[in-house]
Amino acid sequence: MAKGKLVVCVGTRPDFIKMAPVIFKLEEVGIDFRILHTGQHYSPDLADIYKELKLREPDFHITGVEHCKTHATKTAKIMVEAERYFLEEKPCLVLVQGDTDHSLACGLAARKLKISLGHVEAGLRSGDWRTPEEHNRRMLDHISELLFTPTTRSIENLTRESVPGLIIPTGNTVVDALKMVYPKLKPWIVNLPSLASDPDYILLTLHREENVDDVNVLKDIIKGLEKIRHTLRTPIFYPAHPRTIDRLKKFDLLEEMTHQVEILSPLPYMEFLSAIMGANLVLTDSGGVQEEACTLRVPAVILRESTDRAESLVVGAAMLGYGSEEMLEAAETMMKSSREWPNPFDPFGDGNAAGRIVGALPKFIWGTYSLKDELRFRWDLTRARRPLRRFPVT
């Protein structure tokens, strides 16, 4: 493969957070690259991420994605625009992250143009075929030439599926991002009557399609929140996701939700991390929040039937809680957690994933990557399995 530039594709707030360490490392080593913003998240607040993380502005921004109302139209729109941009820039490698529609769209566009594709956070599996994320990540993993895997479990998943690409163990860049901002985090300050006399609270995030698009599932989650609030006698704060608020209004459930939780405006990244750190418990259906809570040593209940981050379950940092009764049972159990996970290392990496990702790129681009390099990456990841002193019990 000829020497040339890379294109890093991002389009959601989690993308910017998880790819920020990779972007900074690319700048540090002097690799020529462009940032393509696919526009999958089009909220004006997304610009705050650039300021908080001190990221440079994207080189190209796909517009009009907000008018696409289905997965097919959104994927098609981004794929067409990404193809046009790739033809103009002529990159030798495209990097995508995670399991979003835009990552699949950019991945497909790259492969159709015979451009090499690297998938950051490859190999995650939940086994839940109801979710678009599961479809996207499986397809991406089978068309990518470079598969940057966050955990041993993800390596095993890809090996079992006999993916044709090169598996490179790295750890998860979410830990790199936390490592970058952790010294700057401050105690979460929120002026609400419910915290006037008692600092304890539970933090909720809720946005996934299978949870909020089904009225019966959403009703059951609200019932579970009611059980938790009454039983644990602890206020629940919900930094609202626009999608969920839209569905609550559509199903005429917004008033019922406000009886169980205090709805807040979406929080900036660092303030949100501070809110996690100060919480007694996190209730979430987000994979990224599950990783962040585990790394920050805050117990979590995963509001899903299965998870693609089973590592946090294995170490005792989280439990599944799908359905109102299971939510309460899991919440009661995790509230008693010591926060000293039995596993002696953080399951999501040591905060050096970006270095391993970027370190592999020149060798691959110039055709000198070998089995010896892959074994070295495996050894580095094995050595990285030790306690993260930077993220103490709070």
| 102 labelled catalytic | no
Radius of gyration of the chain (CA): 21
Residue 207 CB-half CA count within 13 A: 13
Q: Determine the residue type at 295.
A: T
Pick from 323, 306, 25: which is nearest to 148 by CA? 25
Tell me which of 61, 142, 207, 241 is the catalytic residue.
207
Measured between alpha carbons, how far is residue 129 from residues 4, 119, 135, 243, 298 in Å?
37, 20, 7, 21, 29
Pairing mode of beta strands 236-239, 60-61: unpaired
Q: Is 203 helix (H, G, I), strand (E, B) or coil?
A: strand
Question: What DSSP designation does 97 have?
Answer: E
Contact, 321 vs 303, CB < 8 A?
yes
Kindly report the CA angle at 118 between 114 and 124, in degrees rounded to 5? 130
Contact, 149 vs 170, CB < 8 A?
yes
Cα separation, 42 vs 54, in Å, equals 19
- The catalytic residues are 207
